[in-house]
Amino acid sequence: MSEEVQKVSEEVTLFTREELKSRNTREDAILIIHNGVYDVTKFLDEHPGGEEVLLEMAGKDASEPFEDVSHSSDARSLMKKYKVGELVEADRSAARAGFAPAWTNDQPQDQGNAWSAWLLPLVLGLAATVIYRYIFV
Ligand code: HEM
């Protein structure tokens, strides 16, 4: 089992962003999506969103526009068919914006906000109590 995994990982072709830059033509179109490298040359005609958008992003990182469109799970499994490799470690982007759970990075910030969220009602409550006592007692 572990041997099999080893074998698969050895077969992954690694690319640098630099060498992919020039692969932006109708005859040779690649996309970078979430650190994966996709050869979409044969997919240009079939893409439901049209070939223009793919050609516009060819040779570049299309992670953001890909997520902006909210592609279906069908689209996500279809893209596996066009995967030809991955970016070298040094060129990978750390954030997988579209896939990151919302709570991962925001937690400390949320806790900070929780404090100020408590403070305002507390001060307003105290002020209301003081005013009430001043007027009615
Ligand atoms: C290998 C990469 C890609 C695959 C396999 C793919 C696949 C698909 C599929 C199957 C659809 C039909 C709707 C759906 O199922 O979500 C679609 C729609 C679309 N895609 Fe892609 N796509 C890819 C990359 C991109 C990129 C990089 C962009 C933008 C630069 C893009 C822009 C669009 C647009 C604008 C639509 C039309 C949405 C609509 O009409 O509602 N796609 N794509």
What number does the ligand 1 atom closest to the CA of 38 have?
1
Whose alpha carbon is nearest atom 37 of ligand 1? 49
Quick check: 75 and 67 in contact, CB under 8 A? no
Q: How many domains does the chain have?
A: 2
- Do 28 and 54 lie in one domain? The reply is yes
- Check if 44 has its Cβ closer than 6 Å to any atom of ligand 1: no
- Do 78 and 133 lie in one domain? The reply is no
* Residues of the domain holding 58: 2-91
- Check if 75 has its Cβ closer than 6 Å to any atom of ligand 1: yes
The string of pLDDT tens digits covering residues 86-99 is 999 999 998 654 45
- Do 12 and 53 lie in one domain? The reply is yes
- Check if 17 has its Cβ closer than 6 Å to any atom of ligand 1: no
Q: Where are the beta strands (DSSP E) in 3-64?
A: 14-15, 24-25, 28-33, 36-39
Q: pTM to 2 decimals?
A: 0.72
- Do 41 and 80 lie in one domain? The reply is yes
- Check if 62 has its Cβ closer than 6 Å to any atom of ligand 1: yes
Global ipTM: 0.95
In a domain, 96, yes or no: no
The string of pLDDT tens digits covering residues 110-137 is 555 666 677 888 889 898 888 888 887 7
